[in-house]
Amino acid sequence: MLLAVEAKNLKKTFKTKQGNVEAVRDVSFKVNKGEIFGILGPNGAGKSTTILMLTTLLRITSGTAKINDLDVVKNDSEVRNKIGIALQDTGIDNLLTARELFYTTARLWGLSKSKSKDRTKEMLNLVGLTEAADRRVKTYSGGMKRRLDLGLSLVHKPEVLFLDEPTTGLDPGSRRVLWDEIKKLRDEGVTIILTTQYLEEADELANRISIIDEGLVVAEGTPDELKSSIGGDVITLTFRSDDDAIKAQTIIENSDIEDKQIRVTVENGAEKIPNLLNLLVSKDINVQSVSANKPSLDDVFLKVTGYRLEGEKTLIEESK
Amino acid sequence: MNYSKSSFFTQLGILTKRLLLRLARRPLAELPNIFISAFFLLVYDGALGGVFGGNAAGTPFDFANGNFLNFILPVSIVSASVSGGASGIYLVEDIESGVFKRYQGMPISKWAIILAPIVVGAVRVLLQATLIMTLGSIIGADPATGFLGYFAVLGMAFFWGMGFAGYSVAAGVRSGSSQGAQAATFLFFPALFLAPTFTPRYALKGWLETAAAFNPTTYVLEGMRAIMIEGWVSDLILKGFLVAGGFAFITLSFAVISAKTATEKS
């Protein structure tokens, strides 16, 4: 497989008045050409900082990074020609129209006036903004702005596209539209590196995922590989009271508790459920519901970090 | 796809055009400064013209040479040229909105990104100063140097406005907010009023006379007044150009250093 991106022991330290802050402590990964690579992690994990370093927008404290074999520090100008960037803050001039923005961007990339006009039409069509092309961007919805942002990062036909939390703040419908466009780009051969804090998004889009927590890579693989790494099925037991859940956790080995729920990973989950229920009934513990499922990325995240990604960062206690 | 890199001047032109479009889309933002400058001209001429000019010619304030409008017009032009201070606001708005970062991710010159708002500030200064001079001309201003004198006044206003542009860019990027850039232009008020604004310098007294001697605005006003009232008086006009040009050079250099530091990769 040809490599599009290679990050080796990336580290970023910010100097602040309160002392040094290590935003990225040690991040390494390889991205193959033509794949979608997801960087999954909570806020503050170091995802955006990693993207900024890879896109030449932030100085690397130590480590190396290459895009299509070009060093991002030594060949920063060539690297910028190869990549497209859509950062978290869209960076769009709200007083201009989409047509004006595409045209200006094409001209800045060195296209002639007539080619810039042609490219503008193509891009408006690609991101579905032809009808709204002459409206000022401040009248656009969040989803339209994101699509415009994506389009602006594609004007020069980049080989590698960096998307930093592309769907954050979007409604489910707009998110789905953007996902389809990202997949279409992958099918056209564009390598895509996207950061996300949505498990569903990583599962849906990414060919491979790197989970980052507190500036470190804690797991990497395809979604299926990561899920298989847990092994077996996840049985989820829901109780009527917190007390019952706490009592149950003391009885069921290697279980995690969260509110009124206990989760335990076992081989052949469906077969184990009757015995588990008998055991709990014998101890006078009332179970409200029970289910057995294949592990999700949520379970993977919980296993490798000790907390759930979605919602507050609270450590989940595990019974020994 | 291989894209040829656009030249520095193409980039500067494209970025300037974008900011001019923004300017055109917010016409109301131009009104307060032009209104204040026009207001100064009409009110000061109305209130003080009868005392210092016209029938009062021959009083100790005869610097006005019988036409107070020629004396007070430079005050309004200097006031209009403060509109160059918008440059800092344009730049900081781009930094705040993420537009600056987007451009940094493209192979375009950082200097084109920083210079574009300064060029737009210059256009703003020229437009506003021209409007004030046109108004002055309509209500009776009559430069001793003839029509060419207006161009000399416009040139001095341009340099003075660029001085404010540089100052606001530096203040904006250092404060990191468009409010910071906006607030910085309030320096204009002491600069304008601690100067021979309403009377010639020799009529000022005590501390104000001393303050005026150290205030660069004084020399710009006197240079413009020489053009309007006395004719091509080389030493006063030269001093005016040197002070305005020097102010522009110092603040623009400061702006470039500040912008370079503030926009460098951290």
**Closest C-alpha to A216, from A4, A6, A11:** A11
Decide which of B6 and A44 is more confident: A44
> In this structure, is residue B1 part of a structural domain?
no
For residue A192, give the nearest of A204, A200, A23, A297 by alpha carbon: A204
Return the amino acid letter for A144. Answer: M
Cβ partners under 8 Å of residue B186, min gap 6: none
CA gap A41, B80 in Å, rounded: 52
Sort out which chain A residues have CB atoms less than 8 A from B98's CB and list them: 87, 89-92
pLDDT in tens, B33-43: 788 888 888 88
User: Mutate which of A60, A85, A95, A116 to disrupt the B interface (most B C-beta within 10 Å)?
Assistant: A95
Q: Would you list the DSSP string of chain A?
A: --EEEEEEEEEEEEEETTEEEEEEEEEEEEEETT-EEEEE--TTSSHHHHHHHHTTSS--SEEEEEETTEETTTTHHHHHHHEEEE-SS----TTSBHHHHHHHHHHHTT--HHHHHHHHHHHHHHTT-STTTTSBGGGS-HHHHHHHHHHHTTTT--SEEEEESTTTT--HHHHHHHHHHHHHHHHTT-EEEEEES-HHHHHHH-SEEEEEETTEEEEEE-HHHHHHHH-SEEEEEEESSHHHHHHHHHHSTT-EEETTEEEEEESSHHHHHHHHHHHHHHTT--EEEEEEE---HHHHHHHHHSB-SSSS--BPEE--
Alpha-carbon distance of A43 to A37, in angstroms, equals: 18
Cross-chain Cβ contact A89/B97 below 8 Å: yes
- Give residues with Cβ within 8 angstroms of A274, minimum separation 6: none
Task: Please write the tens of the pLDDT for every residue from B63-74.
Answer: 555 578 888 899
Q: How many domains does chain B have?
A: 1
How far apart, in Å, are the Cα atoms of B170 and each of A220, A227, A238, B252? 45, 53, 61, 8
pLDDT band at A316 (very low <50, low <70, confident <90, very high): very low
Q: What is the pLDDT of residue B66?
A: 59
Domain range for B211 is 8-263
Note whether B104 contacts A14, CB cutoff 8 Å: no
Q: Nearest to residue A57, comparing CAs of A31, A30, A27, A83? A: A83
pLDDT at B54: 54
**Rounded Cα–Cα distance for residues A198 and B57 (Å):** 80
pLDDT at residue B266, rounded to an integer: 59
Contacts A111 to B, Cβ<8 Å: 3
Nearest-Cα residue of chain A relative to residue B113: A108
Task: Look at residue B192 in the predicted model and tell me its pLDDT.
Answer: 84
**Among B102, B110, B120, B261, which would you mutate to test the A interface (most chain A Cβ atoms within 10 Å of its Cβ)?**
B102
Instruction: For residue B257, tell me if it sits in a domain.
Output: yes
* B105 interface with A at CB cutoff 8 Å: yes
Taking residue A20's Cβ as centre, other Cβ atoms within 10 Å add up to 10
Contact assignment for B21 to A100 by CB distance below 8 Å: yes
Which of A137-151, A244-258, B102-116 is the most confident on average? Answer: A137-151
The CA distance from A212 to the nearest CA of chain B, in Å, is 22
Does the beta carbon of B104 lie under 8 angstroms from any beta carbon of chain A? yes
Q: Which domains does chain A have, with CATH numbers?
A: 3-221 (3.40.50.300), 228-318 (3.30.70)
Q: What is the pLDDT of residue A137?
A: 95
Query: Does residue B3 fall inside a structural domain?
Result: no
CB nearest B101 (choices: A57, A83, A105): A57
B59 reaches A (C-beta below 8 A): no
Q: What is the pLDDT of residue A26?
A: 95
Confidence of residue A242 (pLDDT cuts 50, 70, 90): confident
B30 found inside a domain = yes
Q: Report yes or no: B27 at the A interface, CB cutoff 8 Å.
A: no
Select the more confidently predicted residue: A106 or A143. Answer: A106
Residue A103 has which token pair? Answer: 């045209």
* Per-residue pLDDT tens over the stretch B175-190: 877 777 777 677 777 8
Task: Evaluate whether residue B2 is within a structural domain.
Answer: no
Distance from CA of A265 to the nearest CA of B (A): 45
Is residue B49 in a domain? yes
Q: Evaluate whether residue B103 is within a structural domain.
A: yes
Contact B101 A87 (CB under 8 A): yes
CA distance A259 to chain B (A): 41
CA distance A103 to B229: 50
Residue A256 binned pLDDT confidence (cut-offs 50, 70, 90):
confident
Within 8 A of B5 by CB-CB distance, chain A residues are 110
| Residue B115 resides in a domain | yes
Predicted confidence (pLDDT) at residue B55 exceeds the cutoff of 60: no
Report yes or no: B169 and B255 within 8 Å, Cβ to Cβ: yes
- Chain A: residue nearest B100 by CA? A91
Residue A315 has pLDDT above 60, yes or no: no
Task: Confirm or reject contact between B47 and chain A (CB < 8 A).
Answer: no
Are the beta carbons of A234 and A267 closer than 8 angstroms?
Answer: no
